Amino acid sequence: MSDISRDTMLLTTPFHSRVEAMCDLNDWGNWMGYTTPNAYFDVELEYFAVRSTTGVFDLSPMNKYRVTGPDAQRYLDRLITRDVSKIGINRVGYAIWCDDNGQIMDDGTIFRLGEQDYRICSYQRADDWLAWNKLGFDVTIDNESEAVAGLAVQGPTSCTVLTLLGCTDLNQLKPFGIAHYTFEGQPLMVSRTGFTGDLGYEVWVPPETAEALWDQLFELGRDYLIKPIGSYALELARIEAGFLQANVDFMPAEEVVRVGRTRSPFELGLGWLVDFSKPLFNGRSALLKEQANGSRYRFAMLDVEGNKPAEHSFILKGDKQVGTVTSAAWCPTAKANIAYAQIEMPHGAVGDELVAEIYYQRELHWTRLLAPCKVIDAPIFKSPKRWQTPAPPH
């Protein structure tokens, strides 16, 4: 184990000694204040580990908040836009939460661990907002971010590898289910969740057993071609699978200083997460108004002609600029050039034919490309394995 100083400005995760040892490229990024690898050895090979075998991603920097107390469910029901009561015990729900203006603050997952015992896993720090939301509720919020280390173990052989680790009958776990095990005398929790759109799990342990988990996982997974993956490979996988990324595809409402730069759930294609049958949740009245009056933007997934990723492109309808791209990638498995765009209403409906104005350069020679594109109705990468129970053998 290498001796890592904790006195640096960027923090390291409980897996850092192992991550560092495997990070052949020594290519690091800053993810929410933590030193995390952009890539370990080769972005595309890492990506293909997720799609063909197993990729392991250290997601310890995610923020984790434990919500307990008699009002825990009512508290969350007011906080998030979907109906929390529909999330059963040992189940996970994808959720978004809004401010009073109906603008998205963050997305995340809600883990229901008991009757009135939940964990919010969020991208952004949310201490302040969660604390204000306590007014009027009998709940306790604990920031467990540093007390819980997490690995995403994603890909077709992930179930097999984790079963070898001791996660008995893991193949029976349904998507968004949670299973509890013991590892090295400590609790180990597995949820069938992830950011890759394929069969995959997230494994949660106390920091003390983090290194042992990593070691055993890679030892047991060697025959199943387990590989560590960095942020760049995950980025490819999530764009292909249709997942939005805070700070990329939308700005968390609390971080925004300029008027009009926030987005509502409807404007991000997340209207399905808004449950108006609930009498109260943050942003409800503003969203009702938006539903009646119309949204400003539409979130569109674009299938772009050609193989040049439409990064930061303007989207045109005829001569008129009607939108901009937030995420774009050439998706290797789907073999498609995908872009996410924010399109001004009324443009961007499914089937709408638009043009991406792409700029790219080769050896300082810039080229402007007008690539026709079409709004598609679903993510381009669809793996049946994602939804199958029992998890299919590889």
Partner 1 sequence: MTDYDAVIIGAGHNGLVCASYLAKAGKQVLVVDGRNEPGGCASTREFSPGFNVSDCAQWFSQFDQSIVKDLDLKGAGLRLGKAKATISLQPDSDHLILDGDHITGAGIDAVDQAAYRDFRKMVRSFAKLMTTLYRSRPPKLVEQNWTDRLTLMKLGLRLKLLGRERLRDLMRIVMINIYDVMNEHFTHTALKSTIALEAVTGTNMGPRSPNTVYSYLHRATGEHLGQTGTTQVIGGMGNLGRALASAAEKQGATLKLGAAVTAIVKTNDRVTGVTLASGENISAKVVISSADPTTTFRDLLGYHQMEAGMAKRAEHYRSRSGTAKLHLALSALPTFKGLAEAQLVERLVITPPMDGMEAALNPMKYRELSDLHTFDISIPTVEDPELAPAGQHILTAIVHYVPFSPDIGWETGRPQLTNQLLSELESYAPGIGSLVTASELVVPSDFEASHGMTGGNWHHGELSIDQALMMRPFPGSTQYATAVDGLYLCGAGAHPGGGLQGLPGRNAAKEILKRGALS
Q: Interface with partner 1 by CB under 8 A: which residues?
A: 71, 74, 78-79, 99-101, 129, 132-133, 135-137, 279-285
Beta strands at 186-191 and 117-122: parallel, antiparallel or unpaired = unpaired
H/E run at residue 48: helix 43-52
- The four Cα atoms 38, 40, 45, 47 give a dihedral, to 10 degrees, of -40
Return the number of the residue (280 or 378) whose C-beta is nearest partner 1.
280
Instruction: Report the alpha-carbon distance of residue 204 to residue 175 in Å, rounded.
Output: 16
Rounded least distance, CB 73 to partner 1, Å = 12
Q: Which is nearer to partner 1, 137 or 218 (CB)?
A: 137
- State the nearest-atom distance from the C-beta of 336 to partner 1, in Å: 40
**Please, what is the minimum distance in Å from the beta carbon of residue 278 to partner 1?**
9
Q: Which residues pair with 244 in a beta bridge?
A: none
- The nearest distance, CB 126 to partner 1, in angstroms, is 12
> What are the angstrom distances between the C-alpha of 242 and each of 197, 291, 394?
8, 24, 24
**Cα–Cα distances in angstroms (integers) from residue 253 to residues 82, 95, 105, 258, 326, in the given order:** 18, 15, 5, 10, 16
Give whichever of 71 and 202 is closer to partner 1, judged by the CB atom.
Answer: 71
Q: Which residues of 125-253 form beta strands (DSSP E)? A: 140-143, 149-154, 178-183, 186-191, 200-205, 226-228
Q: Which residues pair with 29 in a beta bridge?
A: 36
The least distance separating partner 1 from the CB of residue 190, rounded to whole angstroms, comes to: 32
Nearer to partner 1, 37 or 283 (CB): 283
Measured CA distances, 256 to 29, 211, 247 (Å): 23, 37, 10
* Contacts by 290-296, CB closer than 8 A, 24 or more apart: 290/102, 290/264, 290/266, 291/266, 294/345, 295/264, 295/266, 295/267, 295/345, 296/260, 296/267, 296/344, 296/345
Q: Which is nearer to partner 1, 74 or 112 (CB)?
A: 74
- φ, ψ of residue 325 to 5 degrees: the values are -90, 140
Min dist CB 153 to partner 1, Å, is: 35
Nearer to partner 1, 13 or 68 (CB): 68
Q: Provide the minimum distance between the beta carbon of 245 and partner 1 in the complex, in angstroms, as a whole number.
A: 25
Strands of 50-159, DSSP E: 54-58, 63-68, 91-98, 104-114, 117-122, 140-143, 149-154
CB closer to partner 1 out of 80 and 165:
80
Q: How far apart are CA 355 and CA 250, in angstroms?
A: 22
Q: How far is the CB of 70 from partner 1 (least distance, A)?
A: 12
Cross-strand partners of 35: 30
CB-nearer residue toward partner 1: 16 or 284: 284
CB of 130 to partner 1, least distance (A): 9
Residue 326 to residue 342: CA distance in whole angstroms: 7
Helix (H/G/I), strand (E/B), else coil: 304: strand
Of 250 and 281, which has the nearer Cβ to partner 1?
Answer: 281
Nearer to partner 1, 135 or 292 (CB): 135
User: Least separation, in Å, of the C-beta of 366 and partner 1?
Assistant: 42
In whole angstroms, what is the distance from residue 27 CA to residue 230 CA?
Answer: 9
